[in-house]
């Protein structure tokens, strides 16, 4: 990766995703987490303040080395211990059936082989375990989808391979997980093509 990907983009992401508009969304997707949690796309630790008290440990996966430095203050202030365990969501260095919940927030859009990553999610979850997710992806409206397809090549170049047109719920179901609840909505005030969100949970 070049300087932009390694040093600049993580700082941009930290600033943009730390906006007030995302706080309530992070609280929603983190609700119900407990026990052993694996967070894929840990980034700068923006979800840390939203971990419920019932969480006993978080294992973090993220490819950005700078992200760990940006997250250091949040991790240090967290009553929940955070352990970095890997860099790649496509190959999780975690035992099969060893975590209660997996958390992803605006992460599945950037993983090159998302099917492999979701197969790994299913592998590491205990029976009855839950994936908590909020992702942007393919919009529910055809007119918005057309704009997503037009904008996606630029989005991928500027934002670390971020896709706008992945059908999040379909991908999760294809991995053998069962969607338990799903809310699809547009981020208020955003361009709909980049603010089509899917928030929910899926179980093994």
CATH of the domain at 40: 3.40.50.150
- Which pLDDT value is given to residue 63? 86
- Entry pTM: 0.94
Does pLDDT of 1 surpass 80? no
Torsion over CA of 121, 127, 131 and 137, rounded to 10 degrees?
Answer: 60
Do residues 26 and 51 make contact, with C-beta atoms less than 8 angstroms apart?
no
pLDDT tens-digit profile of 46-72? 999 999 999 999 999 998 788 889 999
189: its two tokens: 């005030």
pLDDT tens-digit profile of 103-146? 999 999 999 999 999 999 999 999 999 999 999 999 999 999 99
| Domain span holding position 71 | 3-203
Report which of 62, 58, 27 is spatially closest to residue 42, judged by C-alpha positions: 62
Does pLDDT of 180 surpass 70? yes
7: its two tokens: 């040093």
The span from the CA of 91 to the CA of 97, in Å, is: 15
Q: Which residue has the tokens 């352990």?
A: 83
| Mean pLDDT of the region 175-202 | 95
Do residues 171 and 114 make contact, with C-beta atoms less than 8 angstroms apart?
yes
153: its two tokens: 């090549």
The span from the CA of 76 to the CA of 5, in Å, is: 25
Do residues 104 and 131 make contact, with C-beta atoms less than 8 angstroms apart?
yes
Report which of 98, 110, 174, 168 is spatially closest to residue 137, judged by C-alpha positions: 168
Does pLDDT of 173 surpass 70? yes
The span from the CA of 21 to the CA of 200, in Å, is: 18
- For the chain, the domain total comes to 1
pLDDT tens-digit profile of 157-167? 888 889 999 99
The neighbour count for residue 42, using CB atoms within 10 Å, is: 29
The span from the CA of 100 to the CA of 140, in Å, is: 30
Contacting residues for 6 by C-beta, under 8 A, at least 6 apart: 64, 65, 66
Vertex 7 angle, CA 3 and 73, to 5°: 165
């Amino acid at each position: 990766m070049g300087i932009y990907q390694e040093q600049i983009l993580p700082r941009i992401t930290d600033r943009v995703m730390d906006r007030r508009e995302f706080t309530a969304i992070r609280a929603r997707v983190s609700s119900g987490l407990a026990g052993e949690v694996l967070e894929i796309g840990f980034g700068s630790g923006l979800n840390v303040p939203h971990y419920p008290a019932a969480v006993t440990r978080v294992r973090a996966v993220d490819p950005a080395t700078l992200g760990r430095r940006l997250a250091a203050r949040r991790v240090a202030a967290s009553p929940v211990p955070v352990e970095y365990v890997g860099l790649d969501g496509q190959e999780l260095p975690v035992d099969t059936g060893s975590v209660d919940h997996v958390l992803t927030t605006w992460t599945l859009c950037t993983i090159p082989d998302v099917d492999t990553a979701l197969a790994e999610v299913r592998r590491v979850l205990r029976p009855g375990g839950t994936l908590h997710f909020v992702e942007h992806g393919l919009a529910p409206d055809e007119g918005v989808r057309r704009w997503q397809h037009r904008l996606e090549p630029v989005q991928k170049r500027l934002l670390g391979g971020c896709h706008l047109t992945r059908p999040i719920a379909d991908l999760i179901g294809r991995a053998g997980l069962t969607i338990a609840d799903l809310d699809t909505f547009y981020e208020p005030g955003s361009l709909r093509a980049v603010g089509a969100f899917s928030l929910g949970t899926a179980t093994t």
